[in-house]
Amino acid sequence: MSSFSASGGMTTTSASATETEAEASPNTKLPISALPEMARTLRRHIVTMIGAAGSGHPGGSLSAVEIVATLYFHTMRHDKANPHWPDRDRFIMSKGHGAPLLYATLAEAGYLSLSELSTLRRAGSRLQGHTDMTLTPGVEMSAGSLGQGLSFGLGVALAGRLDGRDYRVYVLTGDGECDEGQIWEAAMAAAHFKVDNLVAIVDHNELQIDGWVRNIMNLEPLADKWRAFGWYAMEVDGHDLGQIIAALERAKSVKGQPTAIIAHTIKGKGVSFMENNVEFHGRAPTQEEVARALAELG
């Protein structure tokens, strides 16, 4: 099994390294062999709920499915019966319009009922268009304006240090979101304070609302930027579960600096007519398109 190294080259990771069971959450642990099916299930939920709502952001939700599935069903320590467990690992959805992915994951993990997914974006629903920590069990940060999640995650990670707790904080950002200066202020501060329980994951699907990231605000060389800010940086195929797992495990052993994982993904992954299609950054599929997408997803 291959993976990207911290320097950007290819390395080889043995199957045994990624097939090892991670430390279990009380009730959400899945064998690695079950993760592809979970990813497919999450994609079906995303398409269905956004289609029913008639609004939402399918492209960036679909691109990060393998990342979030791996975190919740393999890597993170958390408990659906106790969402505020002080020693839980934290997941921060900085790209808050990716809320459908988080809601689908929380439902499959037992924080929400599956039937509640159909209430996405409805008046009175706990599942708003952007995440709201005051409404939704398992949501760690209220989102809206982009660029704020890494600062929030840094604060949470520092609080863990001050409280003597060993939890880890994972922040999912978008590549378009990395246009925001606050991302880089937080990156500089995290390295300065040597916050090694903080992991930033960039969903590098190369598209943002107005088009290709490289044409709007070129981020390259992105991994080298994180390194220049004092982070340990890795690049992975964001749809390869083995590479994601290996990178997250490697991050646990990094001491004295935060970790950035650049996950190369495809916007709209899993639905052919949504893949690399900027139209589906923020457009809900029609019911005919929902049917086509679900047929593709099996």
Over residues 203-214, the pLDDT tens digits come to: 999 999 999 999
- pLDDT of 20 higher than 90: no
- The helices-and-strands tally (H runs, E runs) of the chain is 11, 9
**Average of per-residue pLDDT across 254-268:** 98
Q: Is 12 within the bounds of a domain? A: no
For residue 27, name the pLDDT band (cuts at 50, 70, 90): low
Q: What percent of the chain has pLDDT over 90?
A: 90
- Structural domain total, the chain: 1
Q: Is 243 within the bounds of a domain? A: yes
Assigned token pair, 1: 């099994």
Q: Is 22 within the bounds of a domain? A: no
**Could you tell me the residue range of the domain that residue 171 belongs to?**
28-297
Query: What is the average pLDDT score of the chain?
Result: 92
Q: Is 102 within the bounds of a domain? A: yes
C-alpha–C-alpha distance, residues 79 and 72, integer Å = 10
CATH number at residue 169: 3.40.50.970
The number of beta carbons lying within 10 Å of the beta carbon of residue 163 is 11
pLDDT tens digits, one per residue of 219-247: 999 999 999 999 999 999 999 999 999 99
pLDDT for 26 equals 57
Q: How many angstroms from the chain centroid is the CA of residue 34?
A: 19
Using CA of residue 65, residue 67, residue 70, residue 75, what is the dihedral sign?
A: negative
pLDDT tens digits, one per residue of 146-189: 999 999 999 999 999 999 999 999 999 999 999 999 999 999 99
pLDDT for 25 equals 53
- pLDDT of 2 higher than 60: no
More confident residue, 23 or 107: 107
For residue 29, name the pLDDT band (cuts at 50, 70, 90): confident
C-alpha–C-alpha distance, residues 71 and 53, integer Å = 26
By CB atoms closer than 10 A (0-12, 13-18, 19+), residue 143 is buried
Q: Is 21 within the bounds of a domain? A: no
pLDDT tens digits, one per residue of 38-75: 999 999 999 999 999 999 999 999 999 999 999 999 99
Q: Is 15 within the bounds of a domain? A: no
- pLDDT of 12 higher than 90: no
Amino acid at 157: A
C-alpha–C-alpha distance, residues 242 and 114, integer Å = 28
Q: Is 4 within the bounds of a domain? A: no
pLDDT for 9 equals 38
pLDDT for 137 equals 97
The number of beta carbons lying within 10 Å of the beta carbon of residue 215 is 10
Q: Model-level pTM? A: 0.91
pLDDT tens digits, one per residue of 90-117: 999 999 999 999 999 999 999 999 999 9
Q: Is 287 within the bounds of a domain? A: yes
